[in-house]
């Protein structure tokens, strides 16, 4: 086993211990345009950079990513930046458990890329980025005092990056957590309403998923959501309001799974007696994929649509809010196409979280057309219209919907911001010049 494999196979805690031994508190990986390769802040980490420079799955010429060991809890705080042509990198911060450091890096890279394409398809002048906090199982993540310290420190971490990445709420992070982030940085959105923020974006995100589902139903000439059966993986932030919207649409039945008992109890309390069946499952349980249903909606974590799970699907439509649903986009998109499953790419349909919070600085108006238009059939790049465009081109060209959406998003993401140009990349360059990792 070579050095890079040794490093990447380490658990998060073992990797952190290795950093501590080497007296490394902060580190980065930044793409060098001249050398056409990824450069690590520390020579001992260069094997990781070399590995990802050659990676064809998750490293898509990311401009860079920055990490720091938390001061008190031996957690890894990360900020991943993919492409900033359209503006500073924007995306939420995820608080999650990872088995290895490779899993952690890959998730951050995938999530950042997804935000680049999501923001571009939504017509936002923002680039793509993502924050990731790797949980340390020795600490209780439900303890408010611990969370306050973690997210306050993450806010300070954001400030140290000078705005190349602007954070927001994501899986494992609450509005209260965002208030703690905000206490130490201006480079955040999704802050609480009382601080002038847009608050929890989960409800509009769920509404956007409904738009994507309705586009797929129209594309397949399957009528409305009424009397349809939907299987939902993940009943948390987005899953709960999604259930409510679906019940309002008079669906026949909803079957949902979650790894969190609290989420299930909340749904049963609010919608008990309705056409809803909830099941508590283990982290790696995939039984929900085998449900007899019209629509499968993934709303938990990514990379769950793959060679193992696609053959289990009974649904004709896959549309949900989970980020980076396809484990291997070219491979899995092709399998979905061959199975004649209408797939609405996640970065197209789950945009409303970032749409509602990205431009908080411009203030709020009633029935804001800059937000509501994304739910309409009139705006050219609304969720419904983009979904119909992608599904129709997929059919006409016999190419996966994911491939069609990526081609369009990739093209749009390379347009430079009309005022600030490619400023995010210049911020990263300055961080490197200022030896960020040594301060």
What does the pLDDT look like over 360-372, one tens digit per residue? 999 999 999 999 9
Geometric angle at alpha carbon 185, from 141 and 161, rounded to 5° = 95
CA pair distance 58, 34, nearest whole angstrom: 21
CA pair distance 158, 338, nearest whole angstrom: 43
CATH of residue 21's domain is: 3.40.50.10860
The dihedral built from the CA positions of residue 79, 83, 88 and 94, taken in this order, carries a sign that is: negative
Which are the contacts of 36, defined by CB distance < 8 A and separation ≥ 6?
A: none
CATH of residue 313's domain is: 3.40.50.720
Residue 98 · residue 437 · CB < 8 Å: no
Domain that includes residue 180, residue range: 3-200+426-438
Assigned domain for 392 exists: yes
Residue 294 — very low, low, confident or very high, per pLDDT cuts 50/70/90? very high
18, 146: one domain: yes
Nearest to 174 by CA among 262, 65, 278: 262
3-class SS at 334? helix
pLDDT in the model for residue 171: 84
3-class SS at 251? coil
374, 330: one domain: yes
355, 214: one domain: yes
pLDDT in the model for residue 200: 76
Is the per-residue pLDDT at 52 higher than 90? Answer: yes
**Beta bridge partner(s), residue 233:** 257, 298
Total number of domains in the chain: 2
215, 175: one domain: no
Residue 6 — very low, low, confident or very high, per pLDDT cuts 50/70/90? confident
Assigned domain for 179 exists: yes
pLDDT tens digits along 204-237: 999 999 999 999 999 999 999 999 999 999 999 8
Residue with tokens 């993940």: 234
Assigned domain for 413 exists: no
Is the per-residue pLDDT at 167 higher than 60? Answer: yes
Q: Mean per-residue pLDDT for 291-296?
A: 99
Q: Mean per-residue pLDDT for 179-198?
A: 95
pLDDT in the model for residue 261: 96
Assigned domain for 412 exists: no
pLDDT tens digits along 382-425: 999 999 999 999 999 999 999 999 999 999 999 999 999 999 99
122, 258: one domain: no
Length of the chain as a residue count: 439
Assigned domain for 322 exists: yes
Is the per-residue pLDDT at 375 higher than 50? Answer: yes
CA 262 from centre of chain: 22
Helix, strand, coil % in the chain, rounded to nearest 5: 45, 15, 40
Torsion from C-alpha of 13, 181, 118, 410, nearest 10 degrees: -70
Nearest to 175 by CA among 145, 199, 203: 199
55, 123: one domain: yes
pLDDT in the model for residue 1: 38
**Beta bridge partner(s), residue 26:** 68
DSSP letter assigned to residue 416: P
91, 24: one domain: yes
Q: What is the mean pLDDT of the chain?
A: 95
Geometric angle at alpha carbon 350, from 356 and 291, rounded to 5° = 145
In percent, the amount of the chain with pLDDT more than 70 equals 99
Assigned domain for 27 exists: yes
pLDDT in the model for residue 323: 83
Torsion from C-alpha of 57, 59, 60, 64, nearest 10 degrees: 170
CA pair distance 421, 318, nearest whole angstrom: 36
Known active-site residue 130 = yes
Assigned domain for 349 exists: yes
pLDDT tens digits along 314-372: 999 999 999 889 999 999 999 999 999 999 999 999 999 899 999 999 999 999 999 99
250, 363: one domain: yes
212, 291: one domain: yes
pLDDT tens digits along 88-134: 999 999 999 999 999 999 999 989 998 999 999 999 999 999 999 99
Query: Looking at 118, 130, 240, 253, which residue is catalytic?
Result: 130
Residue 240 · residue 216 · CB < 8 Å: no
95, 217: one domain: no
H/E stretch holding 205 reads helix 202-219
Structure tokens at 389: 């465009």
pLDDT in the model for residue 298: 98
Is the per-residue pLDDT at 5 higher than 70? Answer: no
CA pair distance 232, 267, nearest whole angstrom: 13
56, 76: one domain: yes
pLDDT in the model for residue 274: 83
Assigned domain for 421 exists: no
Beta strand extents in 205-323 (DSSP E only): 229-233, 253-258, 276-280, 295-298, 317-318
Which phi-psi region, left, alpha or beta, contains residue 44 (left: φ > 0; alpha: ψ -120 to 50)? Answer: alpha
194, 206: one domain: no
Residue 358 · residue 90 · CB < 8 Å: yes
Is the per-residue pLDDT at 157 higher than 50? Answer: yes
In percent, the amount of the chain with pLDDT more than 90 equals 90
């Amino acid at each position: 086993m070579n050095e890079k494999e040794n490093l990447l196979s380490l658990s998060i805690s073992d990797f952190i211990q290795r950093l501590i031994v080497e007296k490394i508190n902060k580190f980065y990986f930044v793409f060098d345009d001249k050398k056409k390769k990824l450069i690590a802040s520390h020579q001992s980490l260069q094997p990781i950079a070399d590995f990802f420079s050659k990676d064809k799955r998750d490293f898509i010429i990311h401009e860079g990513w920055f990490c720091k060991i938390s001061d008190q809890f031996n957690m890894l705080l990360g900020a991943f930046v993919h492409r900033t042509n359209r503006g500073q990198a924007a995306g939420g911060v995820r608080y999650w458990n990872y088995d290895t450091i490779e899993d952690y890096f890959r998730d951050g890279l995938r999530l950042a890329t997804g935000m680049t394409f999501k923001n571009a398809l939504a017509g936002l002048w923002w680039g793509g980025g993502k924050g990731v906090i790797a949980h340390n199982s020795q600490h209780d993540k439900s303890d408010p005092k611990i969370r306050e310290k973690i997210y306050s420190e993450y806010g300070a971490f954001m400030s140290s990056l000078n705005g190349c990445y602007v954070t927001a709420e994501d899986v494992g992070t609450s509005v209260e957590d965002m208030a703690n982030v905000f206490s130490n940085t201006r480079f955040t959105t999704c802050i609480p309403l009382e601080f002038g923020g847009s608050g929890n974006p989960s409800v509009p995100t769920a509404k956007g998923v409904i738009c994507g589902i309705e586009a797929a139903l129209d594309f397949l000439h399957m009528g409305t959501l009424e009397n349809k059966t939907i299987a939902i993986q993940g009943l948390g932030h987005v899953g709960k309001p999604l259930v409510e919207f679906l019940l309002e649409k008079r669906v026949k039945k909803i079957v949902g799974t979650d790894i969190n008992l609290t989420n299930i109890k909340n749904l049963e309390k609010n919608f008990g007696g309705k056409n809803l069946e909830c099941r508590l499952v283990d982290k790696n349980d995939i039984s929900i994929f085998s449900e007899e249903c019209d629509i499968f909606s993934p709303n938990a974590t990514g990379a769950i649509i793959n060679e193992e799970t696609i053959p289990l699907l009974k649904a004709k439509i896959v549309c949900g809010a989970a980020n980076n649903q396809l484990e291997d986009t070219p491979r899995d998109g092709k399998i979905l196409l061959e199975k004649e499953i209408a797939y609405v790419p996640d970065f197209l349909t789950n945009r409303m979280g970032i749409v509602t919070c990205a431009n908080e600085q411009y203030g709020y108006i009633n029935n804001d057309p800059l937000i509501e238009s994304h739910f309409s059939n009139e705006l050219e790049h609304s969720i419904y219209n983009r979904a119909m465009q992608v599904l129709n081109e997929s059919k006409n060209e016999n190419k996966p919907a994911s491939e069609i959406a990526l081609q369009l998003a990739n093209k749009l993401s390379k347009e430079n911001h009309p005022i600030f140009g490619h400023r995010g990349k210049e911020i990263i360059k300055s961080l490197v010049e200022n030896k960020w990792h040594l301060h």
